[in-house]
Amino acid sequence: MNDIERIMINIRIEGTSVLHKPDDLTIIGRGRSAVVFKIPDEQKVLKVFYPDFVHLARLEASIYQELNNNDDYPSFYEGGEGYVVLEYLEGLTFYECLIQGIVITEEMIAKVDHALNYARKKGLNPSDTHLQNVMLLSNGEVRVIDVVRFRQSKVCTHWEDLKVAYDRLYSSRFFPKKYPVWFVEMIIRLYRKGFIRLKKRK
């Protein structure tokens, strides 16, 4: 039994609720299918999948192996039953950039495009790339941080739709660059319900 397996024994999750964890393990992120912990004294995170999504751990591990520790993604260290261990990244998601008023530049958008094109060249289908799955690191680099749905067959337009909104609205010098959480969440809900429709940029 390795160190991560020993940690996993002491984590208890029901549904999407973490009922028990080691005291030195800090929750730094939550998603639809997993919760992310910072591993103490290491530049690594432990991504633990919720019980209904345990099967996604090995899928995500295989995708990271396919990406071969490309610089546009977190480094992958190991995977096991219900978990993956990844590089700890210090920075802000694009979602947090909107909330804090940190400008998202054309260069940052281009870096995400570069990352997704690399995945396509590997035979993957980049999907579910949205504001909370892309990070601006403290050193100015950009990373795509969630790849678990990169093998799905259906076409996902999230990133292309975001680029349309960026071109038409956000990139205007008169358009605000900082938004309250309630406003961003309202736009996200309207988009998911199909009330906001965006045409591809030419």
Average pLDDT, the chain: 95
* pLDDT tens profile 9-42: 999 999 999 999 999 999 999 999 999 999 999 9
Q: Are 67 and 73 in contact (CB under 8 A)?
A: yes
In the block, residue with structure tokens 């997993």: 34
Instruction: Report angle CA 61, 156, 132 to the nearest 5 degrees.
Output: 65
Quote the percentage of the chain above a pLDDT of 90.
Answer: 92
The pLDDT value given to residue 199: 66
Q: 81 or 202: which carries more pLDDT confidence?
A: 81
pLDDT at residue 198 tops 80: no
Burial of 202 (0-12, 13-18, 19+ CB in 10 A): exposed
Q: What pTM was computed for the model? A: 0.91
pLDDT at residue 202 tops 60: no
**Confidence class of residue 108 from pLDDT cuts 50, 70 and 90?**
very high
Rounded CA separation 114/73 (Å): 11
Q: With respect to CATH, is domain 3-87 assigned 3.40.30.10?
A: no
The pLDDT value given to residue 92: 98
Rounded CA separation 92/169 (Å): 22
HSE (side-chain half, CA atoms, 13 Å) at 10: 10
What is the maximal distance between C-alpha atoms in the chain? 57
- 39: nearest Cα among 18, 81, 8, 64: 8
**Confidence class of residue 200 from pLDDT cuts 50, 70 and 90?**
low
Residue positions annotated with a catalytic role: 128
pLDDT at residue 196 tops 80: yes
Q: 193 or 98: which carries more pLDDT confidence?
A: 98
Cα→Cα distances 24→122, 140, 158, 197, Å: 37, 29, 36, 44
Q: What is the DSSP string of 79-138?
A: EETTEEEEE---EEEHHHHHHHTPPPPHHHHHHHHHHHHHHHHTT-------GGGEEEET
Residue ranges, CATH 1.10.510, the chain: 91-192
CATH architecture of the domain 91-192 equals Orthogonal Bundle (1.10)
* pLDDT tens profile 110-138: 999 999 999 999 999 999 999 999 999 99
- 57: nearest Cα among 29, 85, 31, 83: 83
Task: State mean pLDDT over 34-62.
Answer: 97
The pLDDT value given to residue 78: 96
Rounded CA separation 113/181 (Å): 26
Residue ranges, CATH 3.30.200.20, the chain: 3-87
